[in-house]
Structure 1
Amino acid sequence: MGITSAWSVSAHDDPFITDLAPRLLPLIAAERGEPFARERWERWRREPLPDFRTWWQPFGRSDSGEADALLSFHELTASGEHVQKMYDGLPPEGDFCLLTHVWDHIDGDDIFLSIHSKEFALRSFFHAIGPQRAVLLPGWCGNFLLTSVQVRRTLPAVERALGFTREERARAQDQDWLDYRDGEESVLDGPLRMWRKAVADGRGLCGVSVTVC
């Protein structure tokens, strides 16, 4: 059965961020604290994956270290069960839902939203930028909640992570396998745009990676 995933980065005023913090921050901490989470992160850091077009060749060979590394990366970058509760409205979130209580309150260009069928946008993004850049991003695997002060403080690191020379940009684009519709914002562009916009507007940011169906 296929899945549809969404990765969003949205801008909000600080009072909204403060109200959301008791709900979202413990879920992000739980994702980071999963028994194998750090192990998967460190494996990807030590063993960045090769060109994604070669990924499926090792499957079927039980002694393939590359297949194990790929499986570990897939587990790392899939939407986790904890933050997922914010979308599903499951306990401990109860009747609180990401769709109706967060996304539905966003206007215009105050959100970067990447939705893809049978793909995780966060997975393609991480592979395209690599672990040395990904480690500069706050939060855990695309999930974060930042006040306006924290957004301003983290902008230089995010600019280092997502600022590319022409050659670096071409390499990253080559490893981003997502299909984009006309006018759709790339995962290589949307997050940095949101950081800069939030700094300019004096707002906080909320990032979540979930499975929507």
Structure 2
Amino acid sequence: MGFTSAWAITAHTDDVMAGLRARVLPLIERHRRLPEVRRAWLAWCADPLPDHRDWDELWGVPEKGQAIGSFLRLTSEAPLDYLHCSHDPHSSDDPHSSDDPHSSDDPRSSQDGSAGCSDDTEVHLYDLWETSAEEVRPYLGFYRKDYAVSALFHAIGPERAALLPGWCGDFALTAEEVRRSLPAVERALGLTPLERVAAEERIWLDAGPDDEPVLDGPLRCWREAAEAGLGLLGAHVHLY
């Protein structure tokens, strides 16, 4: 059994973003402030992980296996799952239930109960994705049993990841915040040719030929939204 995750970055006017921010920002901030989440972030910053191709051997080393599991949980937990109800959190396909032999370190083991469904009828992520501003083509990363944010953060490392607004792929920015944050996002994701090669080697996503690379889509959205004077919503969620 498995799950599908999505990381969507969509552009919206400030009028739309005003309502979104009231619902989205408290969820992001509540999750970011969890002690276990802060510990996981600081641990990754202090000791970035080796190449993912070595992880199979390292899972058996307690300290290394725990570090890998901590990073994967950090970058896969999805507090904005609360804003849509596309799966039954108690079903056998629940993304927070483990089908991994390393279940104690499985990234899908939720620590904050964020997989629950919302009774909120004012915010539906699917509707927002479908009605985003046409000036900016959305970035949509859908992956079966995988996470775009995890792969991106591993590829660019903690110093660059720390430059990105929001928290682990989730953000709700006004047009002014998009404009002001663009230089930092350029530093995080604007790679030289050699840096690009190194980052691509650390990306493990099984992307199709028509999928926009995770190294490209977020920065493109930021540039286009800044040019168009639009805000951005980043939502990292489990679809089912």
Q: Deviations over 1:156-179 (max 9, x none)?
A: 000000011111000000101112
SS at match of 1:54: helix
Matches within 5 A, 1:16-31: 16-31=16-31
Secondary structure of the structure 1 residue equivalent to 2:84: helix
Corresponding position of 1:87: 84
Whole-Å separation in 2 of the counterparts to 1:79 and 1:68? 16
Structure 1 residues 29-70: Cα deviation after superposition (integer angstroms, max 9, x where no partner): 111022211100000001111010111212344xx2111100
Separation in structure 2 between the aligned mates of residue 204 and residue 11 of structure 1, nearest angstrom: 6
Q: Say yes or no: does 1:182 pair with 2:213.
A: no
Q: Name the CA distance, whole Å, in 2 between partners of 1:21 and 1:191.
A: 19
Q: Distance in 1 between matches of 2:44 and 2:154?
A: 10
Question: Are the counterparts in 2 of residues 112 and 194 from structure 1 also a CA contact under 8 Å?
Answer: yes
Q: Contact between 2:12 and 2:133, CA under 8 Å: does it hold in 1?
A: no
Output the CA distance in 2 between the equivalents of 1:205 and 1:41: 24
**Native 8 Å contact 2:3 2:144 kept in 1:** yes
Task: Give the superposition deviation at 1:91.
Answer: 3.0
Partners of 2:122 and 2:227 in 1: how far apart? Answer: 33
Contact 1:136 1:161 in 2 (8 A): yes
8 Å CA contact 1:79, 1:211 repeated in 2 = no
Query: CA–CA distance in 2 between the matches of 1:179 and 1:91?
Result: 31
Percent identity between matched residues is: 43
Over 6 Å off, 4+ runs? none
How many equivalent residue pairs? 209
Distance 1:117 1:91 in 2: 23
CA contact (8 A) 1:31 1:83 kept: no
5+ residue gaps in structure 1?
A: none
* TM-score relative to the length of structure 1: 0.93
Q: TM-score, normalised by structure 2?
A: 0.83
CA distance in structure 2 between the aligned counterparts of 1:161 and 1:144, rounded to whole angstroms: 16
Deviation at 1:88, TM superposition (A): 1.9
Letter in 1 for 2:83: M
Post-superposition shift, 1:196? 0.3
**1:203 corresponds to 2:230:** yes
| Residue pair 2:173, 2:233 contacting (<8 A) in 1 also | yes
Match of 2:164 among 137, 140, 143: 137
